[in-house]
Amino acid sequence: MPSLEFFRLKTREEVLAHYDRFVPVGVEELDLASAGGRVLAAPISAPEDVPGFLRATMDGYAVRARDTFGASVGAPQYLEIKGEVPMGVAPTRGVGPGETLRVATGAMLPPGADAVVMIEYTAEHPDGTMEVRRAVAPGESLLTPGEDVARGETLFPAGRRLRPQEIGLLAALGIRRLAAYKKPRVAIISSGDEIVPLDANPRPGQVRDSNAYLAAAQVAEWGGLPLMHGIIPDDFGALRQTLAAALMAADLILISGGSSVGVRDLTLTAIQDLPDSEILVHGVALRPGKPTILAALGDMRLKPLMGLPGHPASAAVVMEVLGRPLLLRLAGAIGHSPWGRRVPAVLSRNLAGATGREDYVRVRLRREETTLWADPVLGPSGLLSPLVKSDGLVMIPLGVEGLFKGEEVAVQLFGGC
Amino acid sequence: MPSLEFFRLKTREEVLAHYDRFVPVGVEELDLASAGGRVLAAPISAPEDVPGFLRATMDGYAVRARDTFGASVGAPQYLEIKGEVPMGVAPTRGVGPGETLRVATGAMLPPGADAVVMIEYTAEHPDGTMEVRRAVAPGESLLTPGEDVARGETLFPAGRRLRPQEIGLLAALGIRRLAAYKKPRVAIISSGDEIVPLDANPRPGQVRDSNAYLAAAQVAEWGGLPLMHGIIPDDFGALRQTLAAALMAADLILISGGSSVGVRDLTLTAIQDLPDSEILVHGVALRPGKPTILAALGDMRLKPLMGLPGHPASAAVVMEVLGRPLLLRLAGAIGHSPWGRRVPAVLSRNLAGATGREDYVRVRLRREETTLWADPVLGPSGLLSPLVKSDGLVMIPLGVEGLFKGEEVAVQLFGGC
């Protein structure tokens, strides 16, 4: 018999603490061109210097800086133009005292030169001399080898999500292939005798399989691969068989629906009947979202199963609050999006909290002059439309009786990864 | 001869004003399962009510609310249990005065019932009666037909990006196919004699094609389809031929590189040599990003071309500030992400602005107790690493001399769509 403790509602922190048991899914090798948004599975060090050579960052003239000292519009210096450095090749000659070569942005500096005079501060004369109207310091308008990245430098740790700028830097280093964590495969199962497929015409008492579509879209947005496992009636054998198949196919199982007492019991029994299964959480201290289940399945590599509440708003909130961190854990992402998911706003009305539960209220953001208001969008958690009208969630912490109109709140935005 | 006006740097607003000329790319029909993140090309109205029937939102008993009036723990009411409503079917009998039927969450209410008593407030007796310990009001713990969405209601306008909750609502309505704007195809061309492919071993004076990879990753992140058109040497014929091919294949052309005077002129000449081409912008009042080009190409449907600066940080900023809105315009997205891309933070040092230009400074966000600091990440725009160390951009407006340490700034975050 499960102990009483077993049925105590678990806090969000208690649920998240269980995630340490689950390890990132496997590794695959990817081409850099398709690695945007993916998570590195191994640290990357710079195999070479970037830039690889002394490089002009302006159009102008390669000079020895000391040759320009004292130059001004009133007292220019004159240097002898010895030609130009073509793009993409090493210069065939150097710059001696009193000499200069034309360079374009990105060209390699010739030996002897230690600065570039921008074209704006020069004039060319018919006798082949260049007039310098401004002194330059050594190092001006150029990049030194390794200034962007030095050879051997550790660039990124494992767990780093690759944004466009990371892709750009890896391209500059010639890193064409890299090891990334695979996208977690997420089996999505809908359960319930009342659920019918999208293309069915529901009879009275029946509803379409919307929660599975919502969860699948969240999974895809957060970098997972949703696998639709269809609709299972409230039948032990069918449920157990589908769970076993999902366990083979996926890294994470989401079972949606079954929030009524009888069906929830059926789901629990079917999970417990799988070999090496362990129910970790049964009921969470969240509102909405109480009838959430977390289990660990399998004997080799543990795989998580999350049982989502049947009400769409409850399921969506549980996915945001508990499902997303679990998916990112499996995806190997560390330090993911510490910013940007939370926007400060001012609450536009009083909100009462839920006793003994962390309360998540849907809000819509509204800008009025310089104030960003968070307008609560209320409605039972059986409805989808309040979720559609919302931009994010405001959390009322456990033990807080409520939040007041005019208080600054952190709005946890929907979306992003 | 182009007028002097032509060469005046254009402000961001002046550049954006040109985007009205370009229309969203074509429309395609999509399955709902692959429509997450896509943009609706036509408004959607509800073809039916959701829910379609009177539906219990709690496990309990379907009752006539008036039969529970006055019930309390001390003075319960008693109703006769007439059976239960199975899930997914219409009840075969109604609830008369003094009667009740068991219902689970999601079940259809029987005729006569107008409320659900939660199981927590009841007890069943061996004689087949149910004890009610709490009065319920009509409508309690149920959803009425059309309460979520009413038939005929306009749900979403064209231009709405579909988040997971929109997908869920469309699923509930049985909308399996929908019209979405196609993903804009974006041709990416790198130009420059010094640019070599990723797998080449650059000789002195050569650099790898990193800007194209950076731009492609941005395009993909923002919902476009990057098409790599390779590296073109600084040769008029090759450039013109590639531009003509890109114009056939893509909805938007990005040409990266060519920030040196000579090459920029070559790019401009090649664009002008295309039939029905018009240079709209040549030089923008942004720092970094000045040598940006915007052109309109083609005679039937105008297609935009954007010439990006050669320095990686300049190209990345121009893409964020000017490229992203252009891509979203072509993608048909309206009212995209008004929130969440900007996070308020406190500047950690003084910043001087750029005379006559809107100045974009890379910043890294750092939380210290309750303060979110924006730390400027300085460095020449020829470097990639400062971009990699940054979370977003702070803009110093045109005409503002600078920003002060301790000032609150809006950080425009990288990423998202």
Q: Which stretches of chain B drop beneath a pLDDT of 70?
A: 1-7, 258-262, 335-340, 416-417
Evaluate whether residue A128 is within a structural domain.
yes
Q: Is residue B148 part of a domain?
A: no
A171/B210 Cβ within 8 A: yes
Supply the DSSP string of B153-186, one letter for each residue.
Answer: -EEE-TT-B--HHHHHHHHHTT--EEEEEPPPEE
Residue A36 belongs to domain with CATH number: 3.90.105.10
Residue B221 lies in a domain: yes
Please tell me whether residues A82 and A221 are part of one structural domain.
Answer: no
Between A37, A168, A203, which is nearest B213 by CB? A168
Q: Smallest CA–CA separation between A278 and chain B, in Å?
A: 26
Show the CA angle centred on residue B272, arms to residues B267 and B277, nearest 5°: 120
Shared domain check, A367 and A276: no
- The backbone torsions φ and ψ at residue B240, rounded to the nearest 5 degrees and listed phi first, read -65, -40
CA B108 to chain A, closest CA, distance in angstroms equals: 5
Min Cα separation B299/chain A (Å): 32
In this structure, what CATH number is given to the domain that contains residue A403? 2.40.340.10
Strands (E) located in A85-203: 99-103, 115-118, 122-124, 129-132, 142-143, 154-156, 177-181, 185-191, 195-196
Distance in angstroms (rounded) separating the CA atoms of residues A115 and A55: 10
Task: Calculate the alpha carbon distances from A108 to A52, A53, A101, A229, B400 in Å.
Answer: 10, 7, 11, 58, 36
B307 and B213 in a single domain? The answer is yes
Nearest CA among B413, B367, B415 for reference residue B394: B413
How many independent structural domains does chain B possess?
A: 4
Domain containing residue A118: CATH number: 2.170.190.11
- Nearest CB neighbour to B105, from listed A55, A105, A260: A260
**Residue A289: inside a domain, yes or no?**
yes
Pairwise CB contact (< 8 Å): A339 & B343: yes
Residues paired with A78 in a beta bridge = A131
Range of the domain at A246: 4-26+182-330
pLDDT, residue A339, reads 54
Is B176 in Cβ contact with A33 (below 8 Å)? Answer: no
Which of A384, A394, A409 has the highest number of chain B CBs within 10 A, making it the mutation to test binding with B? A384
**Which ipTM score applies to this complex?**
0.94
Q: Which residue of B has its CA nearest to A311?
A: B57
pLDDT band at A5 (very low <50, low <70, confident <90, very high): very low
Query: Which residues, in sequence order, are CB contacts of B191 under 8 Å at separation 6+?
Result: B231, B232, B233, B234, B239, B255, B256, B257, B258, B263, B267
Round to whole Å and give the CA distance between B321 and B12.
Answer: 8
Domain assignment present for A336:
no
If residue B326 lies in a helix (H) or strand (E), which one and from where to where?
helix B324-330
Does the pLDDT at position A417 exceed 60? no
The answer to the question of residue B80 being in a domain is: yes
Q: What CATH number is associated with residue B281?
A: 3.40.980.10
Q: Give the residue, B300 or A79, on which the prediction is more confident.
A: A79
A208 and A320 fall within a common domain:
yes
Query: Do B172 and B108 fall within a single domain?
Result: no
CB atoms within 10 A of CB B415: 20
CA distances from A197 to A316, B30, B52, B144, B260 (A): 20, 17, 15, 22, 59
**Same-domain check for residues A319 and A377:** no
Give residue A234's identity as a one-letter amino acid code.
D
What does the block give as tokens for A159? 């767990």
Rounded Cα distance between B340 and B408, Å, is 16
Task: Give the 3-state DSSP-derived string for A320-378, with helices as H, strands as E and coil as C.
Answer: HHHHHHHHHHHCCCCCCCCCCCEEEEEECCCEECECCEEEEEEEEEEEECCEEEEEECC
- Asked if pLDDT for residue A2 goes beyond 50, the answer is no
**Together in a domain, A79 and A135:** yes
Pairing verdict, β B342-347 and B371-376: parallel
B307 and B405: one domain? no
d(CA A30, CA A45): 17
Minimal Cβ distance to A217: which of B36, B51, B173 = B36
Domain boundary residue among A164, A181, A198? A181
CB A306 within 8 A of CB A367: no
**A106–B207 C-beta distance less than 8 A:** yes
CB–CB contact B192 A88 (8 Å) = yes
In chain A, whose CA is at the least distance from the CA of B103?
Answer: A260
Q: Does residue B337 lie in a domain region?
A: no
List Cβ neighbours of B33 (8 Å cut-off, separation of 6 or more): A213, A216, A228
In whole angstroms, how far apart are CA B235 and each of B270, B315, B329?
9, 22, 32
**What's the burial of B263, exposed, middle or buried (CB within 10 Å: 0-12/13-18/19+)?**
buried
Residue A300: per-residue pLDDT: 82
Contact B210 A310 (CB under 8 A): no
Say yes or no: B136 and B163 in one domain: no
Smallest Cα distance from B218 to chain A, Å? 6
- Contacting residues for B329 by C-beta, under 8 A, at least 6 apart: B19, B22, B24
- Tokens (6 digits) for B242: 């590639």
**Does A338 have pLDDT greater than 90?**
no
Largest CA distance in chain A: 100
| Residue B77 neighbours by CB distance under 10 Å | 20
For residues A366 and A389, membership in a common domain is answered with yes
Shortest Cα distance from B89 to chain A (angstroms)? Answer: 5
Kindly report which listed range (A39-53, A201-215, B326-340) carries the lowest average pLDDT score: B326-340
Please check whether residues B187 and B168 belong to one and the same domain: no
HSE, side-chain direction, 13 A CA sphere, residue A211: 34
Read off the tokens for B217: 């990753």
Give the Cα separation of A132 and A129 in Å (integer).
10
- Considering the domain architecture, whether residues A175 and A45 belong to the same structural domain is answered as yes
| A335 in a structural domain | no
* Tokens found for residue B161: 């990006």
